[in-house]
């Protein structure tokens, strides 16, 4: 997963299982749940260290909906799904406008939410 993230220049990958979405694995999941817990990354599956309780949104969802989902679930990335099919990932950075970056409004709201474990 880490190699794919590097090759694709992304920080998260949607994890599929039995033809459906199972979860999401982030670079942070690999660092915290893999490396920091001294797991053998050669034998550990992405399903063992990913975040399995996935919160996603439809492509037609508004930016405000995405921000609210991030705040409510203390996540910085949301899969965009059409039915059961993932079509992309929207990140906090994708949603933050230049004005909000300066004020830190969106980041502060998401960062102050309790962590997703």
Domain residue limits at 34: 1-54
The pLDDT score that the predictor gives to residue 69 is 92
Q: Which residues contact 15 (CB under 8 A, 6 or more apart)?
A: 21, 22, 23, 24, 25, 46, 47, 50, 52
CATH number of 44's domain: 3.10.580.10
Q: Which of 54, 71, 90 is the last residue of a domain?
A: 54
Contact 50, 90 (CB under 8 A): no
The pLDDT score that the predictor gives to residue 117 is 55
- With bands split at pLDDT 50, 70 and 90, how would you rate the model's confidence at 83? confident
Residue-wise pLDDT for 18-32, tens only, equals 988 899 999 999 999
Number of domains in the chain: 2
Residues 65 and 117 in one domain: yes
Mean pLDDT of 45-63: 91
Instruction: Please check the confidence at residue 99 and state whether its pLDDT lies above 80.
Output: no
pTM of the predicted model as reported, rounded to 2 decimal places: 0.73
């Amino acid at each position: 997963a880490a190699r794919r993230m590097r090759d694709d220049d992304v920080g998260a990958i949607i994890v599929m299982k039995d033809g459906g979405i199972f979860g999401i694995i982030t670079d942070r999941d690999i660092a915290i749940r893999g490396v920091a817990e001294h797991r053998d990354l050669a034998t550990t599956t992405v399903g063992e260290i990913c975040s399995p309780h996935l919160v996603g949104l439809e492509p037609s969802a508004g930016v405000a909906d995405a921000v609210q989902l991030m705040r409510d679930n203390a996540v910085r990335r949301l899969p965009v799904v059409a039915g059961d099919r993932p079509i992309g990932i929207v990140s906090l950075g994708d949603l933050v406008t230049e004005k909000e970056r300066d004020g830190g409004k969106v980041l502060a709201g998401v960062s102050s939410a309790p962590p997703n474990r």
